[in-house]
Amino acid sequence: MISVLPIKAFGDNYIWVIKNDNGDTIFFDPGCADSVIKVIEDQNLNPLAAFITHHHNDHTGGISALKEKYKTIIFGPAHETGHETEMELDVILEENDCIEITQLDISLTTIDTPGHTKGHICFHSEDSLFSGDTLFSGGCGRVFEGTPEQMYESLQKLCHLPDDTLIYCAHEYTLANLAFAQHIEPDNCDIATFITHCESLLNLGKPTLPVTLGQEKKINPFLRCDQKSVKKTAENHAGSPLNSDADVFAVIREMKNNF
């Protein structure tokens, strides 16, 4: 039996783990070695590989220790130019590469999603997306190295996945993102309902993740730039008409930066 579990790190990071009953395990974005090693030792796991979405240290900081202690194979993006050394990659991945994990009987396909960084990638399995810092529940990553247009196109690419795809993002930002989503669409009842749901989960000490892509399309303003309610708020803020959904995205992404 396969299970997906989170390891918390740095207060709001999630390092996602896929494991089977034999303890064979892969990790996504192991930013904190101590947190990962504790779980490996406590649960007697066999770490096969780690998958890296982008070069930021809170996603890569544990790589050296995992390689040294367990000979863990590191898979990661080809286009994080200038950051190859810190990622210590053993296998460099291009878009649509497919990695078969025979011990877990799953395959992962890479999706290029530049925007947050120039070479950010996501990993898609049959029913799951490990989205790093591209797509969050209720939000999306800051545009640090790419352009708003790139981030918009990356999110649109993810929107073509099936609605029942489970989104495993790398941070517990959900409630803060939903507060902004409600600011953008104050009459969206789905957002209010989901806020109540997420507050209940967090009060029980549970993560708000994963969420389905279909749910995100109802509540995430960055996936709803084609909606009149989102466009109206963006145009009111910009003080002028916006000609495209990508323009709407750029305005609300800047609004979120200052929210």
179-224: pLDDT as tens digits: 999 999 999 999 999 999 999 999 999 999 999 999 999 999 999 9
23-36: pLDDT as tens digits: 999 999 999 999 99
Whole-angstrom distance between the N-terminal and C-terminal Cα of the chain?
Answer: 43
Say which residue the tokens 């490996």 belong to: 40
What is the reported pLDDT for 146? 96
Mean pLDDT, rounded, of the chain: 97
222-259: pLDDT as tens digits: 999 999 999 999 999 999 999 999 999 999 999 999 99
What pTM value is reported for the model? 0.97
Query: Are the beta carbons of 24 and 97 closer than 8 angstroms?
Result: no
- Give the total residue count for the chain: 259
What is the reported pLDDT for 84? 78
Residue 153 has pLDDT above 80, yes or no: yes
Q: Is residue 42 very low, low, confident or very high in pLDDT (cuts 50, 70, 90)?
A: very high
- Maximal CA-CA distance, the chain: 59
Residue 82 has pLDDT above 90, yes or no: no
Residue 97 has pLDDT above 80, yes or no: yes
Q: Which domains does the chain have, with CATH numbers?
A: 3-181+207-216 (3.60.15.10)
Q: What is the mean pLDDT of residues 1-19?
A: 96
What is the reported pLDDT for 254? 98
What is the reported pLDDT for 125? 96
Give the C-alpha separation, 16 to 6, whole Å. 5
Q: What is the mean pLDDT of residues 19-46?
A: 97
Using alpha carbons, list the distances in angstroms from residue 152 to 29, 134, 140, 162, 217. 23, 10, 10, 18, 14
Tokens of 102: 């025979």
Question: Angle at the Cα of 207 (from 186 to 103), degrees rounded to 5?
Answer: 130
Residue 81 has pLDDT above 90, yes or no: no
Tokens of 5: 């579990």
Residue 85 has pLDDT above 80, yes or no: no
Phi/psi for 58 (5° steps) reads -70, 0
